[in-house]
Amino acid sequence: MIKKFYLIISVSFISLASFNQDITVDSLLLTRRTDSLDGNVKTYYSPGSKKIAVELQQLVSNAILYYEKKYDVKFNIQMIVLDSGQWFKEIAPYGFVFYDGTHWLVLNTGMTYENFKSVYGFSSISHQLDSAFNKNQLTTEEVIYSRLKFLSLHELGHYFILNLSNAQSPNFWTNEFIAWYFANEYITKYQPQIKKGFDVFCRTVSDFYPVEHTSLRDFNELYNKIKIGNFAWYHSRFYFLADKLYQCAGDSYLKTFEANFQKKSSRDYSQLVFNKLIEADCDGVISKWITMTEANLPSARGLDLQPVQHK
């Protein structure tokens, strides 16, 4: 049986719960020298990084406007965009963007390709990444920034689910999946140029990373102990599931998820019922995706869904 529980804070690839709880983003920001951008999403950034700070602020601000109008809610969030010299290493290694559980999105300014592979554990698939980028006429910089922008909305999705929706993810993997759905819905509709680089990256990681863990049970039970590259492999699979369900369910899915997994519910689910609630009206998608993922079959994007017309 799958039991509902409350997940307080979740970020991409790390959990803040493992760090000193006396250290906060607000207190650390006071120790950094930053410039700032006004706007609906107040943004602090490392001097010299205005260009990427503006791009990230615009992306997040536009996504917020979309979701505020769609769901009649009000976001109350600010952003910090830091380079490697000013990064909050007291909380997380450089490169690990996160939502802190209060009102902060903390993002990086980017990194070199070699550092990117080293930080995220992708050196073992360097050849495959290079080949995929060349084949799709993508520069490493394009992929790195596509991923950074996608992740910024993924983290915004965590904020939305925790604070503004009536949904409560029943476990770790669905918490990450639904944040990818949130990010993918907006980017598919309004920023498809970002999607190409991210899709190629996820496909390559999904198909070639030498995984140790593939089961959803391992992801839920070993959440903070899985190697970073393996964690990225899981996230790539979650993204492909979100993308395929979006092709089927479109803009209505977040409301369906909210209705099926409500806050303050103590309901238990059999695996069959759980799968049905996740896939909504997209029959058979979840069971096929789980089989492909846990068997590590070439990537979990071949789910044969018929796309719907998005309005």
Half-sphere exposure (CA, 13 Å, Cβ side) for 170? 24
Is 299 among the domain residues?
Answer: no
pLDDT value at residue 38: 98
Is 139 among the domain residues?
Answer: yes
Is 155 among the domain residues?
Answer: yes
Q: Quote the distance between the C-alpha of residue 91 and its chain's center.
A: 19
| Residue 155 lies in domain | 9-294
Torsion angles phi and psi, residue 93, rounded to 5: -60, 155
Is 178 among the domain residues?
Answer: yes
Structure tokens at 149: 């922008």
Residue 159 parent element (H or E): helix 140-163
Sheet harboring 35-37: ordered strands across? 35-37, 43-45, 78-82, 104-108, 98-99
pLDDT tens, position by position, 67-124 = 999 999 999 999 999 999 999 999 989 989 999 999 999 999 999 999 999 999 999 9
CATH code for the domain of 149? 1.10.390
Report the number of distinct structural domains present in the chain: 1
Low-confidence ranges of the chain (pLDDT < 50): 1-18, 305-311
Residue 268 parent element (H or E): strand 268-269
**Residue 310 DSSP one-character state:** P
Is 210 among the domain residues?
Answer: yes
Task: Assess contact for 44 and 78: CB atoms under 8 A.
Answer: yes
Is 240 among the domain residues?
Answer: yes
Q: Quote the distance between the C-alpha of residue 60 and its chain's center.
A: 13
Residue 44 parent element (H or E): strand 43-45
Q: Which of 191, 163, 298, 165 is nearest to 237 (CA)?
A: 298
- Which distant-in-sequence residues (6+ apart) come within 8 Å of 195 by Cβ? 146, 150, 184, 187, 188
Is 306 among the domain residues?
Answer: no
pLDDT value at residue 299: 65
Is 311 among the domain residues?
Answer: no
pLDDT value at residue 305: 43
CA–CA gap between residue 206 and residue 188 (Å, rounded) = 20
